Amino acid sequence: MRGGRMFPDFLPIDIQKLTAADAIALAQTIQREPVDTPLADTPIPTAFVQQGDGEPPILLLHGFDSSVLEFRRLFPLLAAKTQTWAMDLLGFGFTDRIHSPAFDPGAIKLHLYSFWRQRIGRPIVLVGASMGGAAAIDFVLTYPDCVEKLVLIDAAGFATAPAIGKLMMPPLDGWATAFLRSPKVRRQISQKAYCDRSFVTPDAELCAALHLQLPNWKEALIAFTQSGGYGFLSQKIAQIHHSTLILWGRQDKILRQKDASRFEQVIANSQLIWMPDCGHMPHLEKPQLSAQHILEFLGD
C-alpha cells in the first residue's frame, strides 16, 4: 500500500492528492488481479472493484479514456443493495497496457469475457456509460447468455468513428495524444460533459486524469482510435433482445439527444428515462436518481 492514506501500490502517487471522500473510498478498494485471455501468453493484470452481496450481480463499464473512478458516486449506492462490480476495460484506466498486443473492440470484448468468466461466472446486469455502453452492446450481442439485463447510460453505439482517428499516424498521433493529455483540454471536455459545471472540481479533474500516468497510455489510446472504435455497431443494435434500460441526460452535449430515442425505437424490449438537469454523466451528476432507476429496473 502507498504511504499516507492507504492506496494500492499500482496507483500513481498523485492518488494521495484526492480530498473527496467518495473518490478516496473507491480508490482504496481498487484491486488488480491477473486475468487469463486468448490475447496473450501471460495473464493481463486487470483493475476492478467489487462490493456488496445479492443477486443479480451488476457490472459497470466506464467511458472513453476513463476508469472505475467514474463510478465513485454510483457504485456504493448499488453495492448497498446487490453485488456490484466495476472494471477497467482493456487499454483504459488502471488495467495493464503492457501485456496485450491489441486494443481494439474485439480485444476489449475478449478481455471482458475472460474477466466475467473467471471472476463472476453467472448472468449479470451489464451497465455501460458512454463508450462503455458501446462495449456493453458489443458484449451482449456476442455473449447473450452472460447478461440478464442491459443498462445504457448516455451510450455510444450510433455515433460514427471519431474523426481524430484520421490523425493517429506519426507524427500527428503524438500531437493528438499530447492535445488530449492537456489539463486545459481535459477541463474543457469535463465542462461540456456536465450540466452543472460546479462538478468540475480539482478532485474530479484528478479522477479523470490519474490513469494517464500509467505506462503505455499513449500507445493504447492510439491503437484503439486507429481501430475505428465502435463505429460498426449501429446496424446491429436492433438485434438486442434483452430487457434494456436507457438513462439519458436531458442536457447531454457530448452525444445527440436523438440517439436516446433511437435506442428506444430499435431495441424491442427497452424503456427510456430522461434524466433532468443532467449532462453526459447522470451517474456523477445525479447518482441517487440513477441508482434508484437501476435498482427498480433490477426488480421489474
Q: What is the pLDDT of residues 16-62, one digit of tens each?
A: 999 999 999 999 999 999 999 999 999 999 999 999 999 999 999 99
Residue 13, φ and ψ in degrees, nearest 5: -60, -25
Active site residue 252: yes
Residues in the chain: 300
pLDDT of residue 162: 54
pLDDT of residue 170: 53
Q: How far apart are CA 177 and CA 216, in angstroms?
A: 12
Q: Does domain 13-299 have CATH number 3.40.50.1820?
A: yes
pLDDT of residue 29: 97
pLDDT of residue 174: 61
Q: Which residue bears the cell 437501476?
A: 294
Count of C-beta atoms within a 10 Å radius of residue 162: 18
**Active-site option among 62, 99, 280, 283:** 280
Q: How far apart are CA 269 and CA 17, in angstroms?
A: 44
- Give the residue extent of every domain in the chain: 13-299
**Vertex 78 angle, CA 75 and 84, to 5°:** 75
**Active-site option among 252, 259, 283, 290:** 252
Q: Residue 265: CA atoms inside 13 Å, Cβ hemisphere, count?
A: 7
Provide the 3-class DSSP secondary structure of residue 248. Answer: strand
* H runs (alpha helix) in 143-266: 172-181, 183-193, 202-209, 217-226, 257-266
Query: In the chain, which residues have pLDDT < 70?
Result: 1-4, 160-175
**Active-site option among 100, 114, 130, 290:** 130
Active site residue 130: yes
